[in-house]
Structure 1
Amino acid sequence: MAGTGPGPVREALDALPLVDHHCHGAVTADLDRAEFESLLTEGAAWPGVSPFDSPVGLALRRHCAPLLGLERHAPADDYLARRAELGWQEVNRRFLGAARAETFCVDTGYAPHPVTSPADLAEAAGATAHEVVRLESVAESVAARGVAAGRYAAAFRAAAEEAVRRPGVVAVKSVAAYRTGFDLDPARPTYAEVTRAAALWFVRGGRLTDPVLMRHLLWTAVALGVPLQLHAGFGDSDLRLHRADPALLTDWLRLTVGTVPVLLLHCWPYQRQAAYLATVFEHVHLDVGLALHYVGPGRAGAVLAEAMEITPFRKLLYSSDAYGVAEFHHLGALSFRHGLAGLLQERVDADDMSHADAVRIAAWTGRDNARRLYGLPVSDPGRD
């Protein structure tokens, strides 16, 4: 795409401290090749098919290798050897700092590996961090305590309310897209429906996957009074992608108008559907995190372009959705800056917008929209 090189808009974006409104921790251990490769993909590192031989692998070797003191495009073996030589603490410090984020909003509900806490992430990056509470984890903790089925609804509501009162919590999140998909009955379930479903779940055990209880979770989230993040689109093999299309939420969104901000995360390949929802519903917002580091800086503009075709500029946010390897915190930020700068500079060059408009849109998307929605501190009120 034209306009991705250095220019006035790129300079403004490079200087902008970002708010990464949805990410995860970075691993707190040194990784061997198999462990590292497993974290480079939402799929699997199959025999003979290395994630280094993919778009994200190329982007990593091109844009992350120099931060380890290597030449661009360094071979994978050299990259891994240098990473091991530096150790995980130094690797995390370099990549988290390079992301140049002033704030991270960290989902703490997914941690199959030992990862940094929000405070640890902030310290390594020289930034601040806040917590995003994953509601499925709260529900499963309530079930694990042995509550009676008839008490589940009240117990989950109380536990969720307690969780959002913790210092530093700014939002809640649901992974309904993974557990049931979005093709749910949009109506609020009755107490009797929730009780029957809870009784069956407690007998069956396992993760929360019941559609009635997922509906109850989403309606409870609305009542908590904090922003609600919803994973949409791209994810790992647990997902059924066609059921993660955010357009399937249309009826539920219609019923929840006037409640809390709903933030559609990631969205690819449904960024256009998400853009439509953000255009017609006041409380809907979106990002295209996760996809950006997987396509890399060279193609990030194409994903962003579709997300921005009709989206109001106060509705688009930045996230990395980085998990595990700190390279993704850096690569997500770099892809976002390159992609958005290219799009905006192209429009400035075509006289479709002024330079001042482009800089304002960049600041809104990269930082200020998140500040406003999550009630984050604003050091420069004139920019929000």
Structure 2
Amino acid sequence: MSEPVHEALAAARLVDHHCHGVVIDGLDRTDFESLLTEGAAWPGISPFDSPVGVAVRRHCAPLLDLPRHAAPDAYLARRAELGPQEVNRRFLTAAGTDVFCVDTGYAPERLTTPVELAAAAGGTAYEIVRLEGVAEAVAARGVGPDAYADEFRAAALEAVGRPGVVAVKSVAAYRTGFDLDPARPSDAEVTRAAADWLAHGGRLADPVLVRHLLWTAVDLGLPLQLHTGFGDSDIRMHRVDPTHLTDWLHLTAGTIPVLLLHCWPYQRQAAYLAAVFEQVYLDVGLTLHHVGPARSRAILAEALEITPFRKLLYSSDAYGVAEFHLLGALSFRRGLAALLQERVDADELSLPDALRVVAWTSGDNARRLYGLPALSPVPPGERD
């Protein structure tokens, strides 16, 4: 029986609108397991014994010439035998991603640059500027409280002016959560908050300065990516429900696109915001490779209950290990294909409409939002 939606998604070349680089050094078991989880490594509990660990052994092992469900020791031995460059090439190529929009603001390990990441996949890379990093660099250089706002704005404008930058990102979810005063802070408020922060140092986590950062993003005029929901233990989950942003979204209506990243377990709340605010878009990246192909359909079904089809984007949010680039893409393709094909089979969605949704979500939505070049048609016989 032909399943044209599955075939279309399997063949689609993806635009990953939010991801990170992969580690360029070899990884021992401890290092690899630490990258499999958003939490800490606990004695006697291996991340291989989790949904994402099982998915790696099931879906990634064959690309290393191993049987499905290979044991962790065999998997890691083969990974070490091939070496990081070949491992990264295999997984990135198999993901079928043509375009990578790379957040370069988090790199505790040695990672590929955007250009290196795309080269390994035979694709193209763009950059996402993390604004907290810009602010912290301004503070590290030394700046007076009364000059902070102007210096941060100038540094942000310089950063987004680099070739290949297509968006900015904030990790306000990690620093303060979203239950903030939505109004633009006054100059006096920013100066007072900057004085306190600069005197004590550390990460940018002052609520006034985070508000100032979000409003500066509006002034920059580029799409703004916001981490929401699932993340590591720095997150206070009850404070990162994206509906906390409702008043701020009212105030910023008609300005910039706001991209809600990841979203789990708030994919339904994010869908509501995308349905009622013209400027809001979402993805369920990060979530997809952690739940794997086995549960991706359920996550995507909730995200698409009321989301306009032009508002859903694909991202992997892969970081560190190239396996996550593959698993994110595989989970997206299989989950969305199952969801759309079921609706076609039930005559709730026409096949032409389903194929338009495939094209939009796999890349066209991101290309439109970020102003990326349109996908060039490939003559018959030139694509494998």
Q: Secondary structure, in 3 states, of the residue corresponding to 1:264?
A: strand
**Deviations 1:76-96, CA, capped at 9 Å, x for gaps:** 110000000000000000001
1:183 corresponds to 2:179: yes
Greater mean alpha carbon deviation, residues 5-14 or residues 41-50: 5-14
Whole-angstrom distance in 2 between the partners of 1:239 and 1:6: 44
* CA displacement at 1:380 relative to structure 2: 4.5
1:171 aligns with 2:167: yes
Indicate yes or no: 2:62 matched with 1:66.
yes
Counterpart Cα distance in 2 of 1:74 and 1:356: 40
Any unmatched runs of 5+ in structure 1?
A: none
Q: Secondary structure at the match of 2:41?
A: coil
**1:351, 1:380 → 2: CA distance?**
32
Which aligned segments of 4 or more residues in structure 1 are displaced greater than 6 angstroms? none
Counterpart-to-counterpart distance in 1, 2:92 and 2:371: 23
Q: CA-atom RMSD, angstroms?
A: 1.0
Alpha-carbon deviations, 1:231-283, whole Å to 9, x = none? Answer: 00000001101111100000000000000000000000000000000000000
Distance in 2 (alpha carbons) for counterparts of 1:52 and 1:106: 26
1:310 is aligned to: 306
> Residue 104 in 1 paired to residue 78 in 2?
no
Alignment of 1:80-99 (within 5 A): 80-99=76-95
Q: Aligned partners of 2:324, 2:375: CA distance in 1, in Å?
A: 27
Secondary structure of the structure 2 residue equivalent to 1:369: helix
Instruction: Report the counterpart of residue 49 of structure 1 in structure 2.
Output: 45
Partners in 2 of 1:244 and 1:39 — Cα distance?
Answer: 23
Cα distance 1:6–1:14, how it changes in 2: closer, same or farther (>3 A)?
A: farther
Q: Residue 53 of structure 1 aligns to a residue in which SS?
A: coil
Shift of 1:8: 1.3
User: 1:196 — aligned with what?
Assistant: 192
Shift of 1:379: 3.0
* Percent sequence identity over aligned pairs: 76
Deviations 1:336-379 (A, max 9, x none): 00000000000000000111111110110110000000000003
2:324 match? 328
Corresponding residue SS for 1:39:
helix
How far apart in 2 are the matches of 1:225 and 1:32? Answer: 43
Q: 2:365 aligns with which of 365, 369, 375?
A: 369
2:382 corresponding residue in structure 1: none
Is 1:286–2:282 an aligned residue pair? Answer: yes
Give secondary structure in 2 for the equivalent of 1:51.
coil
Structure 1 partner of 2:380: none
Q: Which amino acid aligns with 1:123?
A: A
Question: Which one of the candidate residues 107, 110, 113 is aligned to 1:114?
Answer: 110
Closer, same or farther: CA 253–214 of 1 in aligned 2, 3 Å? same
Q: Which residue of 1 aligns with 2:141?
A: 145
In the alignment, structure 2 segments of 5+ residues that lack a partner are: 378-384
